[in-house]
């Protein structure tokens, strides 16, 4: 099976994916956006979705995760990538 990256900027899709993987919006002490999965990483500051998406847009980011997991897989692997380097729409 080939695993292709799925890249999206859709806020509703991102929120659904994060919540399905038991995550919450956060940032680290350097101000970088993160996802806090079950509170497993210390030192993260939880954010509201509005705060997180405001920073997400200001930083022109996209969420990248493996295609099979869009259909309910269990892996929480993801990457926040710059939109200018992402191929948006090619896989959405």
Strands 23-27 and 33-37, by their bridges, are: antiparallel
0.85 exceeded by pTM: no
Q: Tell me: the pLDDT tens digits for 8-59?
A: 999 999 999 899 888 999 999 999 999 998 877 788 999 999 999 999 999 9
Band of residue 86 on the pLDDT scale cut at 50, 70, 90 = low
Question: Dihedrals φ, ψ of 45, to 5°?
Answer: -100, 120
Scan for tokens 């920073």, then name that residue: 55
DSSP, residue by residue, the chain: ----EEEE--HHHHHHHHHHTTEEEEE-TT--EEEEETT-STTPEE--HHHHHHHHHHTTEEEEEEGGGGGS------EEEEGGGS-TTS--
Nearest Cα neighbor of 44 from 54, 52, 36 is 36
């Amino acid at each position: 099976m080939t695993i292709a990256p799925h890249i999206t900027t859709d806020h509703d899709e991102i929120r659904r994916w994060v919540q399905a993987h038991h995550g919450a919006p956060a940032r680290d002490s350097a101000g970088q956006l993160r996802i806090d999965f079950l509170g497993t990483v210390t030192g993260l500051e939880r954010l509201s979705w509005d705060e997180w998406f405001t920073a997400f847009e200001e930083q022109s980011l996209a969420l990248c995760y493996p295609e099979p997991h869009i259909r309910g897989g269990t892996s929480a692997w993801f990457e926040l990538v710059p939109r200018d380097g992402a191929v948006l729409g090619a896989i959405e």
